[in-house]
A and B are shown apart, each in its own frame.
Chain A
């Protein structure tokens, strides 16, 4: 549950707890509350800057592959038809670039999932910031602004690198620095908005697919009606809080026998449990999880939220 170092355990644990809390706080910074018309509160998670950048890169890879693939296909057909396809091919290439660049993002984001393939892959989607309908106008606006965010810095960069366009190196450099502010905007504000999001009134949320897994208290392998071999005392069940319960849940859902063995050993030591004749680690952990959860949920109903094992409520 917690790893103890060699130094005085109480100080070490306090540090760990503080570190955990700052971590939780940092994660909570991505949470936004949305009150539905029914009055229920939904927690939306904002996509992080790195997720957004990842999605963008994936999308551009797709665009480039699409472009090359389509162009190759058209070129081959032109050859088969015996056309001298040079001019026509270049015209089609221009048309392709024009439409891919202008309409790829808009097409997918106005779609039902409000996400480009890259965004879908990373579990992101675009929504309206005030919780209202996401209109196609908003999608248009957020994507046109990309011109300033991406192509402006890119333009300065290329001009700086290769010259041309009548700008000298210094101007290109300053232009690049100036325009890079827009590029890195999502990393700079707390809502992770890029300029396009600000103007369109949108933001990007992270809503990955989550499967409903079986309840652990159900999947212990024991038929529900048979009484448990495990009976924990009240003190034993008071040893841990919600944080440890959640860790135990994750552990039971996915972990290796070695990890389970060491955690089970630690819990046994902490609560002073003597091993039953043929108990397995998994069984013990699942039973303890069930007991702990029952205990904590009962407390929850009474309005007590025992956050972790240090919490004395």
Chain B
């Protein structure tokens, strides 16, 4: 036995434990924690600590490259598993809706107000400018809503507000068009551009406000304000709220980069980034709902009163969901 290397004996004594750990981790990674038996669960922490100490030891006594790099990856994998989060996708999703999302939104009320100010401020500005002189419309408007311009007839404009396409295909295509419209892009951009001190976010949100205001002014000037509001708000409450929140998420990151306080800018951006991301995915979810409302609700309901009613209901629901103190009951 004296012929054997020390490092070889070291390896021989511990090898079985390494293999066992390797198998447990592999099983956990492919089939989830539930696939592990009680025995494995009990053995895991011990085997993990053993492997980690083997690695430390191996570094100082063994010159076998393969052993060291094997232990290195084994320990990394085990470390990430042992100290990693273990909730399932279902748990994550339910916690997101029950706690994370409303909490993140509630905590971000200041950027939300700022973002709303950008959107509606922009809208108000372009509305007033357009009411004074309709030529402004052409400055704000891009080619997106090409046919509903000051040149269109009132009758045509009115006809665009009501639909008689009640077949499934029409609704579906309206739904999908909405889904794929620039909204979700705008929402994610508003979030992602936030790190530049929030400036591009502000521009993006305000620009969307400008478009909205100009669009509004066209209808308003023909006496279609009331009808347009119903047409817009049935899904617009949800949609605009989503955009405002996405902007708020961008401002959170921008603010944290600009004013990091005690932390480093990187660390500050990280903390803000994570809760801002919760708000942003929430905004995507809201946009999905908005698309449903637009695709089906607006195509089916051509009555202004009902449209207003739905708009008001969605407003109350969202506000309640986000801002009602928990413990007094949930609205959704």
Contact = CB atoms under 8 A, between A and B. Distances in A.
Most buried by B among A36, A90, A106, A114: A36
Interface in B246-287: 253, 266-267, 269-270, 273-278, 280-281, 284
B5 interface: yes
Contact of B270 (A90, A199, A296, A301): A199
Given A42-B79, A91-B172, A112-B28, A97 B143 contact: no
A258 to B, nearest CB: 23
Contacts of B55: 40, 42
B85 interface: yes
B40 interface: no
Most buried by B among A38, A146, A166, A290: A38
Interface residues of A, number: 84
A148 B189 contact: yes
A125 B273 CA distance: 20
Interface stretch (B63-71, B208-216, B299-307): B63-71
Contact of B76 (A133, A205, A218, A227): A205
A207 B277 contact: no
A147 B63 CA distance: 46
B79 A36 contact: yes
Nearest to A86: B169
B34 to A, nearest CB: 11
Contacts of A141: 273-274, 276-277, 280
A97 B181 CA distance: 12
Contacts of B73: 207-210
A246 B277 CA distance: 46
B20 interface: no
Contact of A127 (B72, B80, B193, B276): B80
Interface in A144-173: 144-149, 151-152, 164-166
B309 interface: no
Contact of B277 (A112, A140, A212): A140
Contacts of B75: 36, 40, 42
B56 A200 contact: no
Interface string B7-37: 1100100010011000000001110100000
A215 interface: yes
B154 to A, nearest CB: 27
B84 interface: yes
Interface of A: 34, 36-38, 40-44, 86-88, 90-95, 97-98, 102, 106, 110-114, 125, 127, 129, 132-138, 140-141, 144-149, 151-152, 164-166, 195, 198-201, 205, 207-213, 215-218, 224-225, 227-228, 242, 245-246, 249-250, 253, 290, 293-294, 296-297, 300-301
In the A-B complex, list the 10 residue pairs whose CB atoms are closest, starting with the nearest. Answer: A141-B277, A87-B169, A201-B270, A94-B176, A199-B273, A91-B172, A140-B277, A91-B176, A148-B192, A137-B274
Interface of B: 1, 3-8, 11, 15, 18-19, 28-30, 32, 49, 52-53, 55-56, 60-67, 69-70, 72-73, 75-77, 79-80, 83-85, 89, 92, 96, 100, 142-143, 168-170, 172-173, 175-177, 179-180, 184-185, 188-189, 191-193, 195, 253, 266-267, 269-270, 273-278, 280-281, 284
30 contacts: A36-B75, A38-B49, A40-B55, A42-B52, A42-B75, A42-B76, A87-B173, A94-B180, A110-B92, A114-B80, A125-B80, A136-B85, A136-B92, A136-B96, A140-B278, A141-B276, A147-B191, A165-B142, A198-B269, A198-B270, A199-B269, A210-B72, A211-B70, A212-B67, A212-B70, A213-B66, A246-B63, A249-B65, A253-B66, A297-B61
Given A36-B83, A211-B70, A297-B6, 4 more contacts: A38-B49, A145-B195, A210-B72, A293-B5
